[in-house]
Amino acid sequence: MPGSQPPEPIQPQIGQPPPQAALSDLLALFLFRRRHMRVDGFSMAPTLVPGDLVLITPRQARATLPALGSIVVARHPDRPATRIIKRMADVQDGGLVLLGDNPGASTDSRQFGVVPSRLLIGEVTSVVR
């Protein structure tokens, strides 16, 4: 459209890293109130690095979305068997904009677009190093 501005490029919004897991987090894991996942890759570096174990609060159906800036786990929109860890940067068109903290090493919404919210697995609550 003449005179319209191109959309601004999506930029990662690096926020706070998740806290170190406390005894209560580990207890929640053993009581099946948390799930765990090992980080594989550098897309979230320096916040999360390969080998870090993250604890995840599973998302319940109809639950509110995590806050912008939260680190979340979702299914990859093009490869549903693959789980991805990214930062929730925005909500657009009924989907989530998920970005890695390390753009040079991340495949994220800049490549595959918004992720349907139904693919959200949960929010990272803590890390075990």
pLDDT digits (tens, 9 = 90+) for 16-28: 678 677 767 766 6
Residues of the chain with pLDDT under 70: 1-16, 19, 23, 26-32, 61-62
Q: Please give the pLDDT value at position 33.
A: 72
Q: Please give the pLDDT value at position 126.
A: 87
Q: Please give the pLDDT value at position 94.
A: 79
| Distance from C-alpha of 12 to C-alpha of 68, rounded to nearest angstrom | 11
Measuring CA to CA, how many Å separate 54 from each of 2, 20, 75, 120? 47, 9, 16, 16
pTM for the structure as a whole: 0.78
Query: In one letter, which amino acid is 27?
Result: L
Task: For residue 11, give the DSSP letter.
Answer: -
